[in-house]
Structure 1
C-alpha cells in the first residue's frame, strides 16, 4: 500500500479487512510501498516519509498482527530494487507500455509530470515485489489483474532464459527417484499425459503431487515443476491472482470514498467528528421539509446503511423515509453509531502505538529483517543462474 496520506474507511473495507482475514490463512507479507509512492509523488517526498508511520499504525489498529504477518517498508529491502533491475534487462518495452493503468493514470494525473522512467517501470517494480518472495497468491482488485498477468509473463520469460541449469535432465531424473517408486511412477505417467496429450487435469494433479512431497528439497521440487512442463527449473514461480471481494465504500456525498473527493471518514477519526460529518451529510434533495416523503435510492445516507445496518434497521430507514415517518437526522444516527462502534477497537489498539512510536519502529525493523532473509534467498539463486555469483 502506498503511503500517500491518512487511511480512511474506504481503505479498511476495500483492503485491510481482507488482509486481517488472510493473515490467518496464509504466510503474508504486507509492505509500505514508498518507492511506488515516489513514482507519482516524487516532488513531495517529505509527505511520503511522514505518512509511513501513520499508515503502519492504521494497519495495526485495523487488526494486522505482527505475530501473524510480516510488515515492512519496501525501500528497507534493497533486493526489490536489484531484482527490478535484473528483470528490466529481459522485459520488452512494449509489455510496460501496454499495461492498461499506464495511460489511465497519466490521464487522471495530468497535473503531474509522469513522463519518467520510474512511472513507466512501476509495473515491473511491482513484479519484482511479488517475485522476490516467490509468492503463490497476490490479493488484488479486478483492476490490478493485468499487472499480475504481466508478472507471470516476466517470470515465464526469466525461467525460459535462465532455468536450464547444467545437467538439468539428470538432476530431474534423480529427484524423481527420491520420491519413491510408487510416487515416481505416478509422476512420470502424469507428465507423459500432459506432454503427449495436453491433459491439463494431469498437469494440475502432478503439481499437487509435488506440493505434497516431504522427501525432496525445495530445489528438487522447483526443478520437477519445470521438468513437468517440458521446460527448465522454475526459478521464479508464476503467482496466481487472489481476487479481493469488491467493496465500494460510499463517501459522504454518495460517490466512492476518496481523498480527492474530500468525502472521507478517517480510520481513527474522533467520535464527535464522525457524528458531525454524518449529521451534515446531504440527503435526498427532493426532501425539503420534515413532512416530505423521500427516496432512499437518491440519498447518500442510504448507501451507508447498506454497509453498516442490519436488515431491521434498513427496513426501518426505507419505510420511515418513504412515508416521512422519520426525519433525516433520525435516519443518520444509526449509521454514525455503527461507524463509531466499528472504530472503537481500532482507536483502542492504536493508542498503544501512538504513545510508543518506538514499538512501531521495532515491529517494522523486525519485519524488514524477515523480509530481507526471504528476498536474499531468491536473489542468491537469481544471481547464480544469470552468472553473477562470483564466489
Structure 2
C-alpha cells in the first residue's frame, strides 16, 4: 500500500519530553468507507506512536441530525469501534472512547453556550451547506446550530496541543480557538510571578501593595497574593513581573496528509452520494463496483489515449497501487495499449490486497464482542480522568464551585 508514504504528520516531540496531546473524533454513521479511512483513520494509526492520543466516537454529534430516529446509533457505535481497532488503533497506545460515556462533554458544552455569540455559530460554513443537503430533515434546532460549539467542548476538555485535520478543515478548528480566547478573556486564571521578573521593580510594587492593604508605613510584609501584587503593579505601571495563566490553551492545527480519494462517480467519496467503497466490503463487491467507475472522458474508444492524472481510477491507483503497477498504468493508458477494464482490474486488486489484513482483523473482533465493550469502558474511564479536572477549573472560575 502506498498512501501518503512520503508524508510525515509531525512535528515530533523532543526525545525524553512529554508527548504532545492530540484529540480527534468521528461521527458514527455505520461502517467506514475508504474515504473515511484514508481521510482520518490511516493517519490516526500513525499518530498514536508519536503523541498522547484521544480518539472518540461522536455519538452526541450523531443526534444533531438523527434525533428523530436514533435507532441505528447504538449499532453504528459498535461498527465504527470495530473499524477503529481493525485498522490499527491500539488501546494500549491511545484512548478510545464513546462521547456519551463522558458526560463532561455535554456539561462543558452547556457552559460554553452561556457566552458564545449566536453569530459565531450561524457563520460556520457547513451550517447552511448541511441544511441544503439534508432538506428532508428538520434541522431548525439548537442542537444542529450548536454542534460546532459541542465540537469546541470536545476539544478543549482535553487541552490538546494539536487537532489533526486536513487542509479543508482548518476553519473548523478556528471556532474552537475563538471560544478558548473568549473564555480566557472573561474568566482569567490566576496571576503568577514570572521567572523573568525585574528585581528593581519589586520594591515599589511591594510598597504599593502594603499601602493598598492598609499596612503601617514601617511594615515589611511580603506575603501578598498574586492578585494583590498584580493590582499594585497595575497602579505603578510595572507589569513585567507578572503573567496570567490561561485555563484553556488554544489548540494548534496538525495538518495531516489526506490523499485525493474519489468515489465511483468521480466526486468526493461519500455515503450521501452513494459512490463509496466500504472498508469492510468483500472483494467481489469491490471488484464489481470498480468496474462501474467513471474514467478519463478522453477515452471514448479503446484505442483513444488517456491520462491517469485526469481519471478517478488513476487517483485510486496513486493511493493503493505499487510503483510497478503505476508505471504500467501510465504507459498503458497514455499509449492506449491497455483498456479501462484492465486498468480497473489492477486497481481493484491493489485495494483488495491493501485492506485484506484490516478485514481479517475485523472478522476476528466480530467474534469477540466483549473486546469492544472492554475497550470503550476502559477508554471512558481514562477520558474522564483527563476531562474532569478541566471541567472543575471551568466551573470554579465561572462561579459554580
Shorter chain as denominator, the TM-score bin is 0.7 to 0.9
User: What's 2:103 paired with?
Assistant: 78
Whether the aligned pair in 2 keeps the contact of 1:160 and 1:232 (CA below 8 Å) is no
User: What's 1:111 paired with?
Assistant: 136
Query: Residues 38-117 of structure 1 correspond to what in structure 2 (within 5 A)?
Result: 38-117=63-142
User: What's 1:239 paired with?
Assistant: 251
Q: Provide the rounded CA distance (Å) in 2 between the counterparts of 1:331 and 1:29.
A: 40
Whether the aligned pair in 2 keeps the contact of 1:145 and 1:241 (CA below 8 Å) is yes
Q: Provide the rounded CA distance (Å) in 2 between the counterparts of 1:33 and 1:108.
A: 20
**SS of 2:97 mapped into structure 1:** strand
Q: Provide the rounded CA distance (Å) in 2 between the counterparts of 1:260 and 1:147.
A: 21
1:253 equivalent to 2:278? Answer no
Q: Provide the rounded CA distance (Å) in 2 between the counterparts of 1:47 and 1:8.
A: 17
Q: Provide the rounded CA distance (Å) in 1 between the counterparts of 2:66 and 2:109.
A: 20
User: What's 2:211 paired with?
Assistant: none
Whether the aligned pair in 1 keeps the contact of 2:189 and 2:246 (CA below 8 Å) is no
Kindly state the Cα deviation for residue 56 of structure 1 after the two structures are TM-superposed: 0.7
The counterpart of 1:371, out of the listed 380, 383, 401, is: 383
User: What's 1:213 paired with?
Assistant: none
Kindly state the Cα deviation for residue 18 of structure 1 after the two structures are TM-superposed: 0.9
The counterpart of 1:125, out of the listed 146, 150, 153, is: 150
Kindly state the Cα deviation for residue 316 of structure 1 after the two structures are TM-superposed: 1.7
TM-score of the superposed pair, with normalisation by structure 1:
0.80
Kindly state the Cα deviation for residue 80 of structure 1 after the two structures are TM-superposed: 0.6
Kindly state the Cα deviation for residue 101 of structure 1 after the two structures are TM-superposed: 2.0
Q: Provide the rounded CA distance (Å) in 2 between the counterparts of 1:92 and 1:281.
A: 45
The counterpart of 1:361, out of the listed 353, 360, 373, is: 373
Query: Residues 242-391 of structure 1 correspond to what in structure 2 (within 5 A)?
Result: 242-284=254-296, 287=299, 290-297=302-309, 299-389=311-401
Kindly state the Cα deviation for residue 110 of structure 1 after the two structures are TM-superposed: 2.3
**SS of 1:72 mapped into structure 2:** strand
Structure 1 residues 232 and 294: alpha-carbon distance in aligned structure 2, compared to 1, 3 A threshold = closer
Give the structure with the larger helix fraction: 1
Kindly state the Cα deviation for residue 281 of structure 1 after the two structures are TM-superposed: 3.0
Kindly state the Cα deviation for residue 291 of structure 1 after the two structures are TM-superposed: 4.6
Q: Provide the rounded CA distance (Å) in 2 between the counterparts of 1:264 and 1:229.
A: 58
**SS of 1:325 mapped into structure 2:** coil
Q: Provide the rounded CA distance (Å) in 1 between the counterparts of 2:250 and 2:344.
A: 48
Out of 359-368 and 239-248, give the one that drifted further.
239-248
Whether the aligned pair in 1 keeps the contact of 2:365 and 2:371 (CA below 8 Å) is yes
Q: Provide the rounded CA distance (Å) in 2 between the counterparts of 1:164 and 1:72.
A: 29
C-alpha RMSD of the superposition: 2.4
Aligned residues: 338
Structure 1 residues 319 and 89: alpha-carbon distance in aligned structure 2, compared to 1, 3 A threshold = same
Query: Residues 141-180 of structure 1 correspond to what in structure 2 (within 5 A)?
Result: 141-165=166-190, 168=191, 172-173=192-193, 176=194
**SS of 2:146 mapped into structure 1:** helix
Query: Which structure: larger Rg?
Result: 2
Structure 1 residues 136 and 298: alpha-carbon distance in aligned structure 2, compared to 1, 3 A threshold = closer
Structure 1 residues 156 and 323: alpha-carbon distance in aligned structure 2, compared to 1, 3 A threshold = closer
Out of 342-351 and 274-283, give the one that drifted further.
274-283
Structure 1 residues 285 and 163: alpha-carbon distance in aligned structure 2, compared to 1, 3 A threshold = closer
